[in-house]
Amino acid sequence: MRPRRFTVGRSEDAIHPDTMRAALAEFLATALFVFAAEGSLLSLDKLYKDTTTAGGLVVVAVAHAFALMVAVSVAFNISGGHVNPAVTFGALLGGRISLIRAVFYWAAQILGAIVATALLRITTGGMRPLGFSLASGVSEWHALLLEIIMTFGLMYTFYATALDPKRGYLGTIAPLAVGFIVGANILSGAPFDGAGMNPARVFGVALVGWRWSHHWLYWVGPFIGAGLAGLIYEFLLIQPETAPHTHQPLAPEDY
């Protein structure tokens, strides 16, 4: 049975071709996701000057779900399709990825989000990304708890469909399931705090649009939620593999 523990990894992993390919896959997949996801918000703002309507919320949720489903799919066979620093953190705590590879994933995801948001600003004629903010009456602590809960659901779904050794046929629908849970969380959480769930996506928008309001909670909340989900699923729900019991014949009696 593979030891379920936090691993740093070997120094040679940092320059291994597989690590480089996986990081590149995460960079491209995250860029694809952020470009489409943030682009849906800018499109609504361009068309209607208002993204807070019920119809707009549904459009944004569907765009995020579809974009994430595609992003996870295209990276799944190469890097595992994390597309989210919080998901990588949950996998790290569960022992499913080494620290060295996780660092490469984080760098690739953040850079992918920055590049995608910058390209959006260029291609839209300088439209400033809308960023994430708290609705009236929602405190930072309310938003932090909301981010923890939503990202817990995302990470739990990812673990069950993409990382569980006994996932079976569920592995084929992992991208769909992950996209659906993010879309559903946006429907329930976006009116309150924007439903971040992805620190890289939030950081790209904050940097390019220079919108840093309450930025810390969009890192702390997702990392706590994903970390809890990874630990709970890995150490409480996955049944440890045991060596098969073999019958040992009784020793012959001495006469």
Residue 3: predicted pLDDT? 43
pLDDT tens profile 34-55: 999 999 999 988 888 777 788 8
pLDDT over 50 (residue 252): no
Residue 249: predicted pLDDT? 47
CB-based contact 128:216 (threshold 8 Å): no
**Nearest to 180, CA basis, from 65, 56, 82:** 65
pLDDT over 80 (residue 208): yes
pTM of the complete model: 0.90
User: Which residues, 6+ apart, have CB-to-CB distance to 149 below 8 Å?
Assistant: 225
Mean confidence (pLDDT) of the chain? 90
DSSP codes joined into one string, the chain: ----S-----GGGGG-HHHHHHHHHHHHHHHHHHHHHHHHHHHHHHHHS---SHHHHHHHHHHHHHHHHHHHHHHHHHH----SHHHHHHHHHTTSS-HHHHHHHHHHHHHHHHHHHHHHHHHTTSPPP----PPTT--HHHHHHHHHHHHHHHHHHHIIIII-TT-GGGGGGHHHHHHHHHHHHHHHHHHHH-----HHHHHHHHHHHT--TTTTHHHHHHHHHHHHHHHHIIIIISPPP-PPP-PPPPPPPP-
What is the 8-class DSSP label of residue 19? H
pLDDT tens profile 84-113: 999 999 999 999 999 999 999 999 999 999
Q: Which two tokens stand for residue 207?
A: 């940097």
Over range 151-175, report the average pLDDT: 93
pLDDT over 70 (residue 155): yes
pLDDT tens profile 16-34: 899 999 999 999 999 999 9
Residue 9: predicted pLDDT? 67
pLDDT over 60 (residue 246): no
Degrees (nearest 5) of the Cα angle 75, 81, 83?
A: 110
Position with higher pLDDT, 95 vs 171: 95
pLDDT tens profile 187-202: 999 999 999 999 999 9
